[in-house]
Amino acid sequence: MGSTSSGIQRVKRPIIFDEFFDLGLPESASPFITPSTRHWAVNLPLKAAILAAILLAASFGLLFIPGYEPLSHLLLVAVYLLAGATSLIETLEDLGSLQINIDVLMTLAAFSSVFIGSGLEGGLLLVLFALSGAIEEAVTDKAKGSLSHLKKLSPSKAVIVKDDGTLRDRAVADIDVGTVILVKAGEVVPLDGIVIHGASSVNLVHLTGENFPVPKKIDDQVPAGARNLEGALTIRVTHTSSDSTLAKIVQLVTQAQEARPRLQRWFDKVSERYAVGIILLSLIFTITLPFAMDIPFLGFEGSLYRSLAFLIAASPCALILAIPIAYLSAVSACAREGILLKGGITLDALASCHAIAFDKTGTLTTGNLTCLSVEALSPAGKPHIETALGVAAALERNAVHPIARAIVAYAEQQKAPDIALDTFTSTPGYGLKGSFANHRAYIGRLEYLKEHLTPEAVQAVHLRTQELKEKGELLTLLLLDQEVYLLRFRDTVRPRMKETIEELQQSGRWKLLMLTGDHITSARKIAEELGITEYYADLLPEHKLQYVTTLANSEGLAMVGDGINDAPALARATVGICMGKVGSSTAVDASDVVLLHDDLTLLNWLMARARQTQAIVRENLILAVAAIVIAGTSALMGWIPLWAAVVMHEGGTVLVGLNALRLLRG
């Protein structure tokens, strides 16, 4: 389980035996085992249940070999110790707190079987019970979202600038509002603040999901979690670590996870009522059957024997084991297709969704900028476009932001000439300049090149920039001597994404919409290209969460996203679906479904599998209840012996199990 290693706590002081269990850590974290044997404790409940099943099978087989009956009984005792000791302890604790649930019922039924000479049947109940408990524990651990990746995103220390100009490291948690800190190129901004000195570009992909450099200069606000790409920034802190942008997102994720789901609590209530009802019925039958049916109290025909047989037959083996098998079969089938589901309950939630919301960048699109073309602003520059592209690539090879990577990749694709620069200068947050063979070149924002352009060229650039923005494209400028070149960029749509959207729309089962933090023009372009009619842009994480909450409450929502900014929405949605390859670790932790290969074309298949799973679960419920009723009634009335009732009961378990395995087929 993923949380095992991260859950280990280093305890430097002596620790007593009881204290370790009070910490709630997994067995593999125990300080009482050596590092060389620690791996044996991983998934310990599941390993113990499997070993108990093997011993039970051996015990049953030895009964048919003369002279081995004592060994068979010894193995059966081992089965009860392995599979039943934990259940017995938990049952005694539940009874001590006056809680009666299905766990109590199962344990009571299993251990009571010993008193009526059916120890093997009781052992089988314990093994099945232990297996289902281990499966439930594994699913629960996978379903728990971890915020560790998000918390690691922001540094634990920052460099503060003292009044005399000296620098000193200080823990982020100890820095107050108004403190001046220094963030060097390549570092992550540790706290929200305002730039008071320097200029640079920052990447906000972890906060907004958009992989574009954002220029920052004096008096601009910079959020914690932004990565400084170029020059050094001196920042005056405006929020403490507990009130930073990252802290707010952590809080949003936590609140969203705590808001789901309520279905499990409903199951717990039903389980308690069922367990109490069966136990009370067994007691009532024990007391009343001698008078109602004129049978003795003791003996194989007595009311005690029949009531205990009824208790065993009515234990919900089929419900507890076969239903998880149905979900795990579906989960396994999904895993073969590259879809990771965090628990079978996700399939139920998925089948209840009537709307699907997509993030834009990294989900509907690749998240990487693509250079579309280089065009000359005036006719005189057209013959030199290849040279201009080579110059742009030569300049941008010294930069690290997405635009630089797109230009270099495009130059290699177009086989632009290699240019060797004689000089190179970077102005963080604005642009680059260089020279070669008596030629001067500038690349960057219009503000950077403006002083070198004529008013007519500035006006022409403004007009062209507006046109490209309407198309959802980005623009950067290259000035080569006196000629201006426009380099156009766009975030490209994922392959087969349009066909996938059309398939989802044609099914008529879901309303499709797009939620993005990107600007409206880019969002409109992508939405129109994919045929999505409903979209919302310029959304902050809390705004996106509001839309998701409303849709999840009103009609059930599957949210597809990838970035840290999507993590709260993924956690709050009815079902959160995350892109595994490009998705941030926090988004993966917060989601319910992870597309390991980022293949959104499987959404239709996944929805169909969720509906099929629900259908088989309903069939299993009917079969399991029928098995319990038939076996319990027959045993109670004395129509069949105990072994036949157990065979009918366990036969129902096998039947629903085989029915559930149909979901393993692709």
DSSP 520: H
From first CA to last CA, the distance across the chain in angstroms is 26
Paired residues of 341 in beta bridges: 593
520: which 2 tokens? 């409206």
Say if CB 271 and CB 265 are below 8 A apart: no
Identify the residue whose tokens are 């293949």.
599
**DSSP β-bridge partners for residue 584:** none
483-493/474-480 β-pairing: antiparallel
Where helices occur in 63-118 by DSSP H, the ranges are 69-79, 85-96, 102-112
Q: Which tokens is 232 given?
A: 């050094």
Going by C-alpha positions, the residue among 54, 73, 50 that lies closest to residue 130 is 50
d(CA 590, CA 638): 53
For residue 60 the two structure tokens come to: 């049953």
Contacts 24+ apart (CB under 8 A), 54-58: 55/79, 55/82, 56/120, 56/123, 56/124, 56/127
CA dist list (Å): 396 to 381, 437, 440, 492, 540: 20, 18, 15, 21, 31
CA 94 remoteness from chain centre: 32
DSSP assignment of 234-276, as one string? EEEE-S-GGGSHHHHHHHHHHHHHHT--SHHHHHHHHHHHHHH
Q: Tokens 């507006």 identify what position?
A: 466
Identify the residue whose tokens are 């009917």. 622
**Domains of the chain as residue ranges with CATH:** 3-42 (no CATH), 155-243 (2.70.150.10), 341-365+494-609 (3.40.50.1000), 367-492 (3.40.1110.10)
**What one-letter code names the amino acid at 112?**
S
Q: Evaluate whether 412 touches 421 at the Cβ level (below 8 Å).
A: no
Parts of the chain with a pLDDT under 50:
1-16, 19-24, 139-140, 142-149, 252, 255-264
**Is-catalytic flag, 359?**
yes
d(C-alpha 305, C-alpha 378), whole Å:
99
Contacts of 106 (CB under 8 A, 6+ apart): 87, 125, 126, 129, 315, 316, 317, 320
The number of angstroms, rounded, from the C-alpha of 292 to the middle of its chain's C-alpha atoms is 57
Torsion of CA 324, 329, 335, 336, to 10 degrees: 170
Catalytically annotated residue among 348, 359, 518, 598: 359
